[in-house]
Structure 1
Amino acid sequence: MSPQAAEAVFTPRSLAALAEVCDLAPLPALNDLTTVRAKEALAGAELLVTGWGCPRLDADVLAAAPLLKAVVHSAGSVRGHVTDACWERGLAVSSAAAANALPVAEYTLAMILLHGKHVLERARDFQRSRVRDNWLLTTGHTGNYRRTVGILSASLIGRRVIELLKPFDFEVLLYDPYVSPAEAAELGVEWVELPELFTRSDVLSVHTPLLPATRGLVSRALMDSMPVGAVLINTARGAVVDQEALTEAVCGGRIRAVLDVTDPEVLPPDHPLWACSGALITPHLAGSQGNEWERLADTAVAEVARWAAGDGFAHPVRRERLAFLA
């Protein structure tokens, strides 16, 4: 992984815990697998702990690591470094995606609740006027009671959001082509077709991975069908949403948006969304940050311990599931 990722994610406590369950190669972490030091480490490595900035584990790297049997990734997606050569070798692969899903779901819940009460807009108005609005004059569009929340994709994050919404008085809808209505009912939500998800949702939260089939999935027609004043939250990938159509809908005042990701990321300085009062743009911060990185390290250490004990991974990544993963 990159030196910055190693320093951020693996604290002295985490490294000590890792050293208790394996023979840990000397630091610093490797971020170039072609050096003499890297080849010496790879020659005896049975398992790699990877992270953000890991080079691709291609056939040449694997040839230098004849004993390698497993990869434990201390972040989310493994698409950037786990190659076909890894699967052909039969490597066991684990990811901390489930751990990274938790803060994203917490961010989503916070934004749903805040935007239901128009907190950010009302705080901005209050800061300008220094006069409190008459709360008895707030409309029926303000508040979180019996609001309808739509979840686009029952991913790890989408499922966690569904869990977090349970204590609240929301009606929760789900569209996911790989989940049946019966399975959705078991999750405590109503399965609907994609167009109905948009026409009925006061808040629409996007959790689908960016795949060829999902690029531009949130189209102009779908956004145009949303209720006036509805909120679209995107913590997935910017390109899942038609950026031009979203900009027109939000800057035109039809809907509001919470965007932790955009297309491109970052938007150009003169992009209309920066000045649009209906848009809240955050710098891809929904995922693990600060002390939340410790959860990623703890997950990786636990996976190494399970693998060393012969118990297999609690969070395996399967090659046949890659087409559905971020």
Structure 2
Amino acid sequence: MEPKPKKLLDQVRDAIRLKNYAYSTEKAYADWIERFIRFHKLTHPREMNSPQIETFLTHLAVKQNVAPSTQNQALSALLFLYRNVLHIELTGHIDAVRAQRDKRLPVVLTKTETQQVITQMSGLHQMMAKLLYGSGIRLMECLRLRVKDIEFERCQLMIRDTKGNENRVTLLPQSIIPLLNQHLLQIKQLHQADLADGYGLVELPFALARKYPNAEREWYWQYIFPSENLSVDPRSKVVRRHHLDPSGLQKAVRRAATNADINKHVTPHIFRHCFATHLLEAGYDIRTVQELLGHKDVKTTQIYTHVLNKGPLGVRSPLD
């Protein structure tokens, strides 16, 4: 008897895992594909092509009023479905109505405001906030840091598998090193306790777990910011200690901004904006800042020149 063919969404999940995409991407892509199918009244994607994708994307922009990034994610999910799962070549150009992209400048705190927010925080969350501001890394890049990614002697952080699936090197603030060393001693004891209890596993990228069977127990592969509790991996069903959930720091930063009476929309990502802007204010070359941030195009970095503390575009007012 031939095995029953897998459902379409299960095939999508298999293809995503084969490419080692993040679990959050897997959930998002599966959700968009399901919404696409339901929008077209459960028509199988094999029976549809570019016109139906175009109609769905236009609906998102016109009726749902989604953000450009949301519409782009939906398009990426559908392109992944046709190219990597169904292996169907899309006919024609997808000319959907595009969601309007607002030309917004990033919210940036002054140096004083940044310090006020960080001062209102404490413990682990304060250390993470300092790392975001001092290194310019994204929240998820911070949470996914592993022990082996720290270069104490060189004062460097190795950021791996970034937003563009690339690696880069950025700064490790010297002032945070004593705190980080103390923190690593604590989580090493936690890891040793997990090993003694028969756990101590960590998720490894790509197929390293098969290539190096003992690597997932090694200390240098462990997350720098591990979760307080063990959990069941939703993919492999293995009990592991994952990294912290991003919501903890997000809430702590919002609470700190409120306590500091900062009347701006403050999130953990604002520290990345502050990192770039404050370096440019200090006179550092924009190409250097671009490299530290990991931007492929310097135009992405140039947006921070519009929010320097010298007025729009850095122009000095004639009144001054």
Q: Same fold (TM over 0.5)?
A: no
- The structure carrying a bigger strand percent of its residues is 1
Higher helix share: 2
TM-score tier after normalising by the smaller chain length: under 0.3
